[in-house]
Amino acid sequence: MVRVLVVLLSILSFAPAALAERDMPRIDAAPNPTVTDETPNDPGYAPLLQAFDRYRALAATGGWGTVPTGPKLEFGMRDSRVAAMRARLAASGDLSETGADPDLFDAALAQGVMRFQERHGLEADGVTGFKTIDALNVSVEQRLKTIALNLERMRALRIDPARPLVLVNIAGAELDVIENGVVALHSPTIVGRIDRPTPLLESEIDRLEFNPYWNVPVRIAQVDLLPKVRKNKSYYNDLNFRVYSSYGETAREIDPGAVNWYSAEAKKYRLRQDPGPENALGPAKFLFPNAYSVYLHGTSHPELFAKTARYLSSGCIRLPDPLGFAAYLLRDDPAWSRAEIDRVVAAGRNKGVRLARPVPVMLAYRTSWVDAGGAVQFRDDVYGLDRGA
């Protein structure tokens, strides 16, 4: 009997202190959705449970075959591996047409490959390279374990259906606002790098800032920014950083051009970036109490959202449309129309706003879920939390 240990609420050295290990549901017996105190209010639970049943039925009939590795395959090519690819995609429901020529990579197969790639967080280009073949060759039994693991994660979270919820899925690098059991707002995000992971936590967004200052964390100042100013002495001036003599309360502002950035003392200086187009936090940031000093914010590099793998930050969560998110959070406050938000941002001055009603936020880790269109999604276990799944 296959069982998987689930480690909840943990991310490498950034994990919260409270850990829990639970046995996973058996693959030959679906998780019991009838136990009232165990059935979550998460609207994603029931669709994923149905996917579990479909994949279990598929496993019972033999699952799917594998696709031999080799050079990439793409539209218009002929190859003996194409037939195996057709069979594999048909088994998982990504391809419905059989094709007149089993060895021809035709348009229907290209569409099937793109559908599969989209479901697995791969670049949806229709080209079958090594990453796509590796994903195709993950067995149905392994996918079942992943689904079961994520069902258990959903069961462990208590969601209040009477309140909106901001749910950030770190593994999927996306954000959903769940309201009245449905997704009211969906957005891609940028989350923490593997070596600087975004922590799992629950809190409440209670305030936000327009035109935020960025008080640069020590690690980022020393590891990321110091090499840049050493290459370009005007780097801090160009990007509107202010340099302070220390991290103490009596620190004084100093001219970055007067500092020897190659000296041993270069690491003692504190950095703060002023609001503006160059500010790394973008036009707004969203704060919630937590032990990790992480928050949601905009970005001065929106082009990064075009990437498929968006594990690029130092732990905070970046949003492509922070002002739209701000408008959602402030939608019930007559003092904060979208026009007023835009006016305040255009003025360029820092402005803090406390929410009259804080909004729950969860930073979760889900490597499988069902999207709004009914497609079963899978993502790589980028932080290594699917232990044994």
Per DSSP, helices labelled H in the chain are: 45-60, 82-91, 107-119, 130-136, 140-156, 218-220, 226-231, 235-238, 322-329, 338-347
| Tokens standing for residue 318 | 């970046």
Burial 289-315 (b: 16+ CB within 10 A, else e): ebebebbbbbbbeeeebeeeebbbbbb
Q: What residues are annotated to the active site?
A: 297, 316
Residue 209: C-alpha distances to residues 46, 239, 290, 348, 357 (Å):
37, 20, 17, 12, 16
Q: Decide: helix, strand or coil at residue 350.
A: coil
Name the CA dihedral angle for 55, 173, 360, 356, rounded to a multiple of 10 degrees: -150
The residues, ordered by sequence, that sit 6+ positions from 11 with a Cβ below 8 Å of its Cβ are: 197, 198, 199, 200, 365, 383, 385
d(CA 376, CA 383): 21
Residue 3: C-alpha distances to residues 9, 21, 148, 150, 385 (Å):
19, 12, 10, 14, 15
